[in-house]
Amino acid sequence: MKKLFLSTVVILTLCLTFTSCKEKTTSENAEEAMTEIMESTEEIVEIEEVVENAQDAIADAEQALTDAQEAAENAVGDAKAAAEMKVEEAKNALQALKDTAEETVENVKNDAEEATDLLKKDN
């Protein structure tokens, strides 16, 4: 931006040193040159504003991308933790079912032995 501004100033300065074929007074030439310099300066300021706005938009987009990436990583981590918890719950439920089944088999076995003993006593 500085090079553009300085180049514009140099070109405008050179324009002041050369006179045109028209007969103009020095004050008219100076006034015209100053007007051109002011217009160029305004354009440079506008260009700088556009560049700043573009840089802000890029920074906002980068932040949004980073936020989305973090959210995705968190979602994957949460899903993994939930799946691990459900697997553990399923293991615990299977163990409880196994324990209950073993207890039931043991109770049935004991009841069968008692019934056998009672039948032997009755005979």
* Inter-residue contact 51 to 4 (CB < 8 Å): no
Report the predicted TM-score, pTM, of the whole model to 2 decimal places: 0.42
Q: Rounded to whole angstroms, how far apart are CA atoms 102 and 96? A: 10
Domain boundaries, the chain: 2-122
List C-alpha distances in Å: 72 to 7, 69, 86, 111, 120.
49, 5, 21, 58, 71
H-run or E-run covering 77:
helix 26-122
Q: What is the pLDDT of residues 74-112, one digit of tens each?
A: 888 888 888 899 989 988 888 988 889 889 988 888 888
